[in-house]
Amino acid sequence: MAKLLHIVFASVFVVMSSASCVQKTSDIKVVVEEIDEARNPVPSYSDLLTFRVVVIEGAIWGPPGKEENLLEQVEVGSVVSLDMGRLLQIGSRYASTVTADASNADLVVAPRDMRFARLGTFPAKPLTNQSIGSGSFLDKQSRDFLALLYVDRPGLISGTLRAGNVEGKVHVSIDKAGLHWIKMKEVTPLRYELDNANPSELVFGIQPYPVPSLGPSE
C-alpha cells in the first residue's frame, strides 16, 4: 500500500483551469527545503544536489520516461531559479496523446489528439544522477502539493484515475497551450480531488529515502 501511494504522489492527480496557466516563461524563484511526511520543513544534512526532470508522456499517472538535468549544485535552504522557458520546451518536445494505460481507462480527453506531458522532478546525487528521495513542488503558504503539466492546445481532460484502490476525480479545463500549476486535495487516504493553483511562492520539498538500519549498536 505504501508503494502504491508513493506512485500516486510521485505522478500526481491533476485538475486545471485557465487560472492555473503559467504565464511566465522566464525564471521563477523556488525555495529548496527538506520536509517531513506532514510537508513541514526540517533540518537538512544533505549534500549538494542535482534536480532532474522526469517526463510522464500522455498520462497524469504513469511510469517515468525521459530524464534531463534541470539544476546542478543545489544546496538545501537556498533559493534557486526555475527556467520556465526550458521546461516549456521539454514539455513540448515529449508531449503525446493519451496513453492506453490501465490508470487512464476512465479518462476522457477532448480533443482526442491533444498532446500533454507531466513534468515531474526528483533530487539526485550530482556525479551519478542516482535518486536520493522524492521531490515535490509545494505552495509555500498552504503546503499543498503542486505539479506541472504541459498541454499543447485548449481542451478538456475529465473522468477518474485509478491506481489499485486509490482514486482521483479529474476535471481539467484548459483555454490555452502551455504550462499549468495544479494541486491535489486529499479527501480520504484513498480518494483525491484536484483543483487549479496559482501559487505566489514556491517550495521544492525533498524527502530523502530512509537510511537502512545496520542493526543494534554495541
pLDDT tens for residues 36-93? 988 999 998 778 899 999 999 998 877 788 888 888 889 999 999 989 999 999 999 9
SS3 of 66, please?
A: coil
Collapsing DSSP to helix, strand or coil, 95 comes out as: coil
Is residue 5 in some structural domain?
A: no
Residue 42 lies in a domain: no
Element (H, E) at 125: none
Q: What is the pLDDT of residue 96?
A: 94
* Residue 124 belongs to some domain of the structure: yes
Instruction: Locate all alpha helices (DSSP H) within the chain, ordered by sequence.
Output: 2-11, 84-94
**pLDDT score, position 157:** 84
Domain-embedded: residue 167: yes
Q: Average pLDDT, stretch 100-121?
A: 88
**Residue 95 belongs to some domain of the structure:** yes
**Neighbour tally for 46: CB within 10 Å:** 17
pLDDT band at residue 3 under the 50/70/90 scheme = very low
Residue 189: half-sphere exposure toward Cβ, Cα within 13 Å:
5
- In the chain, the largest separation of any two C-alpha atoms, in whole Å, equals 65
pTM higher than 0.75: yes
Decide: 155 and 85 in contact? Cβ < 8 Å. no
Find the domain containing 194 and state its range: 12-36+47-207
For residue 108, tell me if it sits in a domain.
yes
Residue 212 in domain? no
Rounded Cα distance between 80 and 103, Å, is 34
β-strand partners of 32: 204
pLDDT at 211: 55
Is 143 domain-assigned? yes
If one counts the domains in the chain, the total is 1
